[in-house]
Structure 1
Amino acid sequence: MGGAAARAVLLLAAAVAALVGGASAQLSEEFYDRTCPDVHRIVRRVLKKAHQDDPRIFASLTRLHFHDCFVQGCDASILLDNSTSIVSEKFARPNNNSARGYPVVDAVKAALEEACPGVVSCADILAIAAKISVELSGGPRWRVPLGRRDGTTANLTAANNLPGPRDNLTTLQQKFAAVGLDVVTDLVALSGAHTFGRVQCQFVTDRLYNFSGTGRPDPTLDAGYRAQLAKSCPRRGGNRRTALNDLDPTTPDAFDKNYFVNIVSTAASSSPTRSYCPLPARPRRRPSTASPSARRPSSRASRAPWPTWGTSSF
């Protein structure tokens, strides 16, 4: 991975760490050194086994951690089920039939309970799982401070306000600012998590067939790529709502720079006013190993929108 690419993914890692917020001052990388020294090894073992059956799981767990942290901090409130006193965040619009990975989190918890009963919090499990998921997908390694406490309340209203697939730039900036994230650096960096995972057709079809209510395709779409997407997301018939498309067709299961590279490669034909519909980034015609700095985009690229945000199907 080139220097520019490494900086890009490290920036994303830093943005994920920023979600911890002010609580990070009370956390420690050595929190479980005495009480559960094998915590990372155990989580890694469970995740590698889960990945054998579900290649999407690393992206799903990364997204699950983000959806937890964006709502009242990294407290595992997204794992709480409905009860007499709790309305679960699992049924918020961005999570219902969308957020994935709960059984794997349960498997991690069971393995840790066997090794270290009553020690590792679910909030820390989500943080470690996201970290290891990125590492196992070829992304950077970073240190994760631990010691989070599990929340006992859920916030359905806040969960319904997670960044959405059709939020425009202004709305996204407002949502990020509301939770203390930078509206430029953090927004762009965290968008880079769409470098792996999948998106459901229901969040693509409007740009293929009825962009902004015109009854026509988004004119900024490359014609060849539009035809390719139309095969998996037909206007009628087939599995036109829930069929999946790679967010990064170049390296769909790798955590790398290619999501951004794909977007830059199509920037000249993009409209700066279009909404953030979660259309997968069009793959380049020919994969390249050169760093972004060696392939500087034209001046037109600076007018293009930032990466799409908020998919339903990591």
Structure 2
Amino acid sequence: MAFSKHVLVFLVFFGIFNISCNAQGLKLGFYKKTCPSVEKVVKRETARIMAAAPTLAAPLLRMHFHDCFVRGCDGSVLLNSTRNNPAEKDAIPNQSLRGFDSIDRVKSAVEKECPGVVSCADILALVARDSVLLLNGPFWPVPLGRRDGRVSNGTESLIELPPPFFNITQLKTNFASKGLSTKDLVVLSGSHTIGTSHCTAFSNRLYNFTGRGDSDPSLDSNYVARLKSKCRPGDQTTLAEMDPGSFKTFDKNYYTLVAKRRGLFTSDSALLADSETRAYVIKQAASDGKTFLKDFAKSMVKMGKIEVLTGNQGEIRKTCAFVN
């Protein structure tokens, strides 16, 4: 047992060491000479996309998160499956992702400006930032220089991505394995202030929490009743707002809901089960939200550096859905 603990500590340390070493290849202004207009082009195209479909902001942010948690921020979530290899995007946790065509659109615009220079991984990181910004969220500087991976394995998504039913211990372990702290966990959970979810992601909390046809006692009873009126048993199509009344604005209201025991997922409610995450939730619920926006920007920069490929690693894909 002692040996196993030492191995675990070493692996976590080694993972964090790897993250920091590879991240040294990222820098602001990476394309200053090779594609100086990249951020301008991405911002322009993202604004056009959001003007036509503002609800895409949450899926595009989520796509960046899902990319970084599997093989690092290498654009592997964008690759299509092949006959012999089911890719990440077709794994169950990613089947509800939307916006792949939007990333392709931005990539095409960047390719016209600077052919073969900017990676899909960098474009995804920039689009996620600009999407949040367009919903009154924070700006954060995005260090660039990521290279695109050549491997995408759907099974890895099932293993690496934290599902909505994780408890606080599982969440902390999952984030720590990516070099992210408990504070990063509670801060990044705040991304649930925008977007929607299919009823299937939380219906067990309403109708069969312990297998006895009961509801999750950690959920506010009035909120349970409201969700039941929206999501009938077996409903696989209806969407519920993760931050009712404010799901199109990036703000601190998520924490207000969680503090009232109205977090949509088990993983949201789990934030009240840990002293550090609970304290942050309570603090932000009572705040003007400015601290959250600053914290979110910092945690996103940190997340965007997870296990990146830099230098001569990987490649610069011509199209995001296929390796060269």
Q: TM-score range by the shorter chain?
A: 0.7 to 0.9
Q: 1:54 maps to which residue?
A: 53
- Asked whether the equivalents of residues 80 and 87 of structure 2 are also in contact (C-alpha less than 8 Å), the reply is yes
Gaps in structure 2 of 5+ consecutive residues: 1-17, 271-282, 289-324
- Asked whether the equivalents of residues 137 and 251 of structure 2 are also in contact (C-alpha less than 8 Å), the reply is yes
3-state SS of paired residue (1:30): coil
3-state SS of paired residue (1:109): helix
Q: Give the TM-score, by structure 2 length.
A: 0.73
Q: 1:173 maps to which residue?
A: 172
CA distances 1:255-302 after superposition (whole Å, capped 9, x unpaired):
1111012111338xx9xxx943789xxxxxxxxxx974569xxxxxxx
Separation in structure 2 between the aligned mates of residue 292 and residue 260 of structure 1, nearest angstrom: 5
- Asked whether the equivalents of residues 129 and 140 of structure 2 are also in contact (C-alpha less than 8 Å), the reply is yes
Q: 1:88 maps to which residue?
A: 87
- Asked whether the equivalents of residues 205 and 235 of structure 1 are also in contact (C-alpha less than 8 Å), the reply is yes
Alignment of 1:81-230 (within 5 A): 81-83=80-82, 86-96=85-95, 98-161=96-159, 162-182=161-181, 184-230=182-228
Amino acid at match of 1:197: G
Q: CA deviation at 1:34?
A: 2.1
3-state SS of paired residue (1:225): helix
Q: 1:264 maps to which residue?
A: 259
Q: 1:276 maps to which residue?
A: 267
Q: CA deviation at 1:156?
A: 2.7
Pair 1:20–1:40, CA change in 2 (3 A): farther
CA distances 1:168-218 after superposition (whole Å, capped 9, x unpaired):
222222222222222x11211111111101011112221111122121222
3-state SS of paired residue (1:100): coil
Amino acid at match of 2:65: F
Q: 2:236 maps to which residue?
A: 241
Alignment of 1:28-43 (within 5 A): 28-43=27-42
Identity of aligned residues (%): 44
Q: 1:63 maps to which residue?
A: 62
Q: Give the TM-score, by structure 1 length.
A: 0.75
Pair 1:217–1:159, CA change in 2 (3 A): same
The structure, 1 or 2, with the larger RCO (C-alpha pairs under 8 Å, 6+ apart) is 2
- Asked whether the equivalents of residues 166 and 278 of structure 1 are also in contact (C-alpha less than 8 Å), the reply is no
Separation in structure 1 between the aligned mates of residue 207 and residue 104 of structure 2, nearest angstrom: 40
Amino acid at match of 1:33: K
Alignment of 1:20-31 (within 5 A): 21-31=20-30
Pair 1:231–1:101, CA change in 2 (3 A): same
Structure with the bigger percentage of helix: 2
Q: CA deviation at 1:59?
A: 0.8
Separation in structure 2 between the aligned mates of residue 221 and residue 200 of structure 1, nearest angstrom: 18
CA distances 1:214-263 after superposition (whole Å, capped 9, x unpaired):
21222343333222212220126xxx112111101131011111101211
- Asked whether the equivalents of residues 79 and 90 of structure 1 are also in contact (C-alpha less than 8 Å), the reply is yes
Separation in structure 2 between the aligned mates of residue 215 and residue 263 of structure 1, nearest angstrom: 24
Gaps in structure 1 of 5+ consecutive residues: 1-18, 280-289, 296-314
Alignment of 1:4-23 (within 5 A): 21-23=20-22
Instruction: Give aligned pairs, total.
Output: 259
3-state SS of paired residue (1:245): strand
Amino acid at match of 2:98: R
- Asked whether the equivalents of residues 256 and 286 of structure 2 are also in contact (C-alpha less than 8 Å), the reply is no
Separation in structure 2 between the aligned mates of residue 30 and residue 233 of structure 1, nearest angstrom: 47
